[in-house]
Chains A and B, each alone.
Chain A
């Protein structure tokens, strides 16, 4: 079966997940993102690539950073951006997801950026567009349920490449709530595809998927074991809103065992970088001294996120 993210010429048609996305495409996105980083330094912070195109930000779930950076990215590419406040939209009145999409297509949408609490919603939209012969319309997954957050995974890869240059000699640790994290799934898929030889996951067993080892990672039961000698520490946010039932004793208890402090970070390589997808819970998964410290690259991640999203949207906008 053809990869649903690629068109018949093998170009990116939709960005739905990093799982199964060819290495060449990931590298192409990262390579394309690099020159976009300098646009912010120009007098006119705009490129004409998506001039006359309409990008619809369809956020069925709250987000500030992701929605804003997608909006900035689309605007820097000269697209018209329409943000749909779904909380007050027709969905609340009973309209189905695909009816919403059909209505927006009737308003001549060229691209949908979709965040949804249900895993697979962006995939469903992409399939619907293809089934109805509207393959000039592109879908970008901006996070679906626990499934995937591909642009976050890509901006993380861009950040790692920026600071570490290569992937083949790295040891990377992902720390925290992997179970509820679409970010972690996208990171693991990308790190594996790009040839990182050792990816470790660290966290309480209750917050890790039962078959985590099948994802090609090494499970570490303690911070001491997991952080030793790593080049990159990728912290995850504790996803209180996605938890059902008692998986944790208390945030304080979590911080004591799994929170990243300067003391624990000292186990990593001296030039290790610390990443976090945001929003951070200071004093829960990360100590302020680390979050604001010299090894943290959390704010550059946000800036790189704009360039990476510009790269994805400009590749989609030019594919046929």
Chain B
């Protein structure tokens, strides 16, 4: 598969979001790729609220089967969630389970007025009724389960998409 260029997708995603965000919109990136992406979107969209981040390790639905992730990063929500417009940002949308976990976690901080989901790539394969509000690229056919698509960041801060065969 020809991998799309991440930098190009980020610009597309920001333009898709622009008409639907205000200066008070709050972004929350999901560790780790989503946090990098949220940093970019935050700058491109000129948002004024500080950036949030979520590590869903403590909310995953496979904890009972797989145990705790060995190095949880923790979550940082540096704004008031109550009545805020929040966009959850992730690099790749797959089963929807991570988004479910992030939503649950977010609501433990307060009741937002609206929550959207922005992703760079929708790879298909949903297992929950979750759909992105903003998406730069939807793959024409779902990626096979053994493959993993993720965002990577090099030393200069440049972002690229990488396909990993498990």
Residues of A within 8 A of B (CB): 11, 28, 31-32, 34-36, 38, 42-44, 46-49, 314-315, 317-320
Contact = CB atoms under 8 A, between A and B. Distances in A.
Interface string B98-133: 000000100111100000000000000000000000
Interface in B52-99: 55, 57-59, 63-64, 66-68, 70-76, 81
Contact of A42 (B67, B71, B72, B109): B109
A263 to B, nearest CB: 41
A43 B64 contact: no
Contact of A43 (B57, B63, B70, B110): B110
Contacts of A32: 68, 70-72
17 contacts: A32-B70, A32-B71, A35-B55, A35-B74, A35-B75, A36-B74, A38-B76, A42-B108, A42-B109, A44-B108, A44-B109, A48-B59, A49-B58, A314-B58, A315-B67, A318-B66, A319-B67
Given A43-B108, A49-B63, A35 B68 contact: no
B73 A320 contact: no
A314 B68 contact: yes
B72 A11 contact: no
Instruction: Tell me which of A31, A36, A44, A48 has the highest count of chain B C-beta atoms within 10 A of its own C-beta.
Output: A48
Contacts of A318: 63-64, 66-68
Nearest to A77: B58
A183 B141 CA distance: 59
Contacts of A43: 81, 108-110
Contacts of A36: 74
Contacts of B81: 43
A35 B64 contact: no
Given A49-B58, A318-B64, A28 B108 contact: no
A31 B59 contact: no
A47 B67 contact: no
A46 B108 contact: yes
B74 to A, nearest CB: 3
Contacts of B55: 35
Contacts of B104: 48
B74 A34 contact: yes
A275 to B, nearest CB: 24
A25 to B, nearest CB: 10
Instruction: Tell me which of B55, B63, B66, B81 has the highest count of chain A C-beta atoms within 10 A of its own C-beta.
Output: B63
A35 B70 contact: no
A80 B125 CA distance: 36
A320 B67 contact: yes
Contact of A11 (B57, B63, B64, B67): B67
Contacts of A11: 67
7 closest A-B pairs by beta carbon, nearest first, are: A35-B74, A318-B67, A44-B108, A318-B68, A47-B58, A35-B72, A43-B110
Nearest to B67: A318
B82 to A, nearest CB: 8
A317 B67 CA distance: 7
B112 to A, nearest CB: 12
Contacts of B57: 35
Contacts of B73: 35
